[in-house]
C-alpha cells in the first residue's frame, strides 16, 4: 500500500500545476461624465478617481466593507511619535514602466500631493516632509499632530507615482500618460468618448480576470440606460430611481444598490475668494446674509423631493456626515419645511416682496441632479423667491464655475469622501482658503484647525459635535439627502456595488460562457 501511495504522489507531483486563467474579455463601464484629468493627484471628483484607481494605487485602501487595509504599504502606518508616522512598504512592486516602487516613490508622491499647485493640496497641509529610512521604510513628519494620517493615505490624491518618469513633468503631460502600479495599464483616452485600459500582466496581486476595461461618459440618463439594456455597456451608474424595479426584473441586467458615502447639498457664497483661493471680502450677493441662507433652508421640503424626484431612493441628513462618518451626531435631526419662517426671515433681511436668486448645478453627474435642482427651485419660487436655474456639463461646471469661485450665490454639489471623517468634509469645503470653499467664519476655522490636532478620539468627536452645531447655526450649507447609489449591470458579470462609489474591475469576473 505504501508503495502505491508513493507512486501516486510521484505522479501528482509530476503533473503541471494549473496556472491562473489569463485575463480575457471586455467590460464597458458607463459613468455620467468624463474625468477632467487622469492626473489623479490634481482633481477632486469621483469620476476621475474611479478611473484613476485602476491605474494607480495608494499606501492603504478600503475593502468591500470599507475597512482600512494595507495596499502598497506592507502594514498600516504606525505612529512612532506625536508628529511622525512610519510606513513599511511592500517589496517587489513595479510601476507599469518597469520602475521599482520604493521609498523614493513615496517621498516624491507625497511631496507632490501637498504642492500648492495641486487642486487638493489643502487636504495634505499637515505633511511637513518625508524621511527615507531605507528603501522600503519611510517616516512622514507632520507639522502638527494629525490623527487621520493613515486614513488620508487612502485618498486618490496620494496615489504613488514613478519618480523617474514623472520628475519635472507638468500635470497635463501626466494626464496623457498615467503610469501607476495598479491592475490596469493605460491604453488611450478619446476625450468625451472612451478611456481604454488593459490588464497589467505583472500586477503584484496577480493579473485581473477581465482583460480590457472601457470607460464611456454618457450624461443622459435615458441614453445610458438604453445602452445598458442593449448590451452596449456592462455597468451603468446613476440609474434613475423610477427605472430601478424595471431593471431589477430585466432578463439580461440587474440592479445593485448601496447607501452612499455621498450627500447632496446646496452650498452658499458668504465670502468671495480670488483664483488663488485668497479671501477678498464679503460676497456681494444675498447669500452673505445669514437670514437669507436660513430662509432658503426653511423653504425646502426635502422629503417631498426624495419621494417625488428620487422615488424614495434617498435618506434625509441633518449635516453632511452620514452615519458611518467619524463626527456624526445622532442627536441632530433634519429640519422640516417652515414657510412662515421663510417669509419672516426674508422680511427681516429687507425682501418682504421676495428675492431674485440664481442657483447653479451640474447635469448628468449625480442621480437626477438637474431634476432635483429644478424641484428645489420650484419650492423656493412658491416660498417667495424668483429663481433662475442654470445647469452645466460637469467638467465645464467644475473648471469654469466651481474651481474659479464663480458659482455663487447658490450652487449644488454632491460630496463623498473616502476618509469617512468629518475632516474630509469640513476642511476642503468650508475651511477658509481652500479650492472649494466660499465660506468664512473665524470661529469655524479655529475649531476645525484644533480638531485636526486632537489625537484622543473621544475628545476629537466632542469637538466635531461642537463644530456640527456651529455649522448648522450659521447655515453654512443646506444638506439635502444621503444618496442611495443605483447601478445597473449585465447578468454576465459577477460584481457588487460599494458604498464608496468605487467601481473596481479587478473585483469583477465574467460568468462562465459569457
Secondary structure string (H, E, C) spanning 299-349? HCCHHHHHHHCCCCCEEECCCCCCCCCECCCCCCCCCCCCHHHHHHHHHHC
**Given the C-alpha cell 465645464, which residue does it identify?**
396
Residues of CATH 3.40.190.10 domain(s) within the chain?
24-199
Helix residue spans in 353-492 (DSSP H): 369-382, 394-397, 423-430, 442-451, 457-473
**Cell digits for 509?**
469576473
Assess whether pLDDT exceeds 50 at residue 406: yes
Distances (CA, A) of 83 to 79, 100, 116, 170, 438: 8, 28, 21, 31, 30
How many other CB atoms are there within 10 angstroms of residue 252's CB atom? 11
CB 99 within 8 A of CB 111: no
CATH match for 261-484 among 3.50.50.60, 3.90.1640.10, 3.10.105.10, 2.60.40.10: 3.10.105.10
Give rounded-to-5 percent helix, strand, coil for the chain.
Answer: 30, 25, 40
Q: What pLDDT is attached to residue 154?
A: 97
What is the model's pTM? 0.87
Q: Where in the chain is the domain with CATH 3.10.105.10?
A: 261-484
Residue 142 CB: number of other CB atoms within 10 A? 19
Confidence band, pLDDT 50/70/90 cuts, at residue 14: very low
Instruction: Give the pLDDT confidence of 480-502 residue by residue, as tens digits.
Output: 999 999 999 999 999 999 999 99
CA distance 504 to 102: 25
Write out pLDDT tens, residues 162-221: 999 999 999 999 999 999 999 999 999 999 999 999 999 999 999 999 999 999 999 999
pLDDT at 22: 80
* Burial profile 319-336: b = 16 or more Cβ within 10 angstroms, e = fewer: bbbbeebbbbbeeeeebe
Average the pLDDT over 373-398 and give the result: 97
How far apart CA 227 and CA 386 sit, in angstroms, is 38
Q: How confident is the model at residue 123 (pLDDT cuts 50, 70, 90)?
A: very high
**Which tens digits make up the pLDDT trace of 297-356?**
999 999 999 999 999 999 999 999 999 899 999 999 999 999 999 999 999 999 999 999
First to last CA, the chain: 46
Please give the pLDDT value at position 17. Answer: 39
What pLDDT was estimated at residue 16?
A: 41
Grid cell 494549473 is found at 18
Can you name the residues that pair with 355 across neighbouring β-strands?
A: 385
Give percent of the chain with pLDDT exceeding 70.
Answer: 96
Quickly state the pLDDT bin for 2 (edges 50, 70, 90): very low
**In the prediction, which pLDDT does 20 show?**
59
DSSP state of 42: S
Phi, psi of 472 (to 5 degrees): -70, -40
Nearest 5°: the CA angle 184, 187, 189 is 115
The two beta strands, 235-236 and 355-363, are: unpaired
pLDDT tens sequence across 146-171: 999 999 999 999 999 999 999 999 99
Average pLDDT, the chain: 94
For the CA atoms of the chain, what is the radius of gyration? 24
pLDDT at 364 over 80: yes
> Is the distance from CB of 241 to CB of 486 less than 8 angstroms?
yes
Determine which helix (DSSP H) or strand (DSSP E) holds 114, and give its type and residue range. Answer: none
Neighbours of 488 (CB within 10 A): 28
The CATH code of domain 24-199 reads: 3.40.190.10
Amino acid at each position: 500500500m505504501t508503495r502505491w501511495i508513493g507512486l501516486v504522489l510521484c505522479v501528482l507531483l509530476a503533473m503541471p500545476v494549473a496556472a491562473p486563467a489569463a485575463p480575457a474579455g471586455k467590460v464597458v463601464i458607463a459613468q455620467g461624465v468624463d474625468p477632467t484629468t487622469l492626473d489623479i493627484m490634481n482633481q477632486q471628483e469621483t469620476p476621475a478617481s474611479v478611473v484613476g484607481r485602476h491605474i494607480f494605487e495608494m499606501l492603504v485602501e478600503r475593502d468591500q466593507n470599507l475597512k482600512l487595509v494595507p495596499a502598497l504599504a506592507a502594514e498600516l502606518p504606525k505612529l512612532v511619535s506625536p508628529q511622525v508616522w512610519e510606513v513599511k512598504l511592500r517589496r517587489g512592486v513595479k510601476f507599469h514602466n518597469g520602475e521599482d516602487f520604493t521609498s523614493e516613490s513615496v517621498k516624491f508622491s507625497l511631496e507632490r500631493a501637498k504642492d500648492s499647485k495641486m487642486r487638493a493640496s489643502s487636504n495634505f497641509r499637515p505633511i511637513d516632509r518625508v524621511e527615507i529610512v531605507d528603501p522600503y521604510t519611510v517616516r512622514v513628519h507632520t507639522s502638527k499632530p494629525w490623527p487621520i494620517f493613515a486614513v488620508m493615505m487612502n485618498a486618490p490624491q496620494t496615489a504613488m507615482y514613478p519618480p523617474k518618469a514623472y520628475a519635472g513633468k507638468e500635470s497635463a503631460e501626466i494626464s496623457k500618460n498615467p503610469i501607476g502600479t495598479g491592475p490596469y495599464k493605460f491604453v488611450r483616452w478619446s476625450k468625451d468618448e472612451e478611456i481604454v485600459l488593459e490588464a497589467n500582466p505583472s500586477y503584484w496581486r496577480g493579473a485581473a480576470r477581465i482583460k480590457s476595461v472601457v470607460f464611456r461618459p454618457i450624461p443622459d440618463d435615458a441614453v445610458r440606460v438604453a445602452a445598458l439594456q442593449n448590451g452596449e455597456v456592462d455597468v451603468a451608474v446613476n440609474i434613475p430611481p423610477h427605472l430601478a424595479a424595471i431593471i431589477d426584473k430585466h432578463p439580461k441586467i440587474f440592479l445593485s444598490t448601496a447607501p452612499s458615502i455621498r450627500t447632496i447639498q446646496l452650498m452658499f457664497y458668504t465670502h468671495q475668494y480670488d483664483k488663488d483661493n485668497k479671501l477678498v471680502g464679503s460676497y456681494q450677493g444675498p447669500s452673505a446674509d445669514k437670514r437669507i441662507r436660513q430662509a432658503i433652508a426653511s423653504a425646502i421640503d426635502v422629503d417631498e423631493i426624495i419621494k417625488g424626484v428620487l422615488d424614495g431612493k434617498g435618506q434625509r441628513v441633518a449635516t453632511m456626515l452620514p452615519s458611518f462618518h467619524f463626527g456624526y451626531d445622532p442627536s441632530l435631526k433634519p429640519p422640516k419645511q417652515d414657510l412662515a419662517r421663510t417669509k419672516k426671515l426674508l422680511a427681516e433681511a429687507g425682501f418682504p416682496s421676495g428675492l431674485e436668486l440664481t442657483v447653479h448645478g451640474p447635469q448628468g453627474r449625480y442621480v437626477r441632479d438637474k431634476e432635483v435642482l429644478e424641484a428645489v427651485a420650484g419650492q423656493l419660487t412658491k416660498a417667495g423667491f424668483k429663481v433662475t436655474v442654470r445647469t452645466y456639463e460637469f467638467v465645464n461646471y467644475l473648471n469654469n464655475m466651481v474651481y474659479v469661485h464663480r458659482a455663487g450665490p447658490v450652487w449644488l454639489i454632491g460630496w463623498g469622501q473616502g476618509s469617512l471623517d468629518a475632516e474630509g468634509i469640513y476642511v476642503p469645503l468650508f475651511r477658509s482658503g481652500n479650492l472649494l470653499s466660499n465660506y468664512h467664519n473665524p470661529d469655524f476655522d479655529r475649531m476645525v484647525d484644533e480638531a485636526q490636532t486632537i489625537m484622543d478620539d473621544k475628545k476629537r468627536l466632542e469637538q466635531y459635535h461642537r463644530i456640527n452645531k456651529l455649522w448648522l447655526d450659521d447655515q453654512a450649507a443646506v444638506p439635502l439627502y444621503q444618496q442611495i447609489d443605483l447601478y445597473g449591470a449585465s447578468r454576465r458579470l459577477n460584481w457588487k456595488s460599494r458604498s464608496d462609489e468605487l467601481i473596481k474591475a479587478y473585483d469583477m469576473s465574467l460568468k462562465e460562457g459569457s
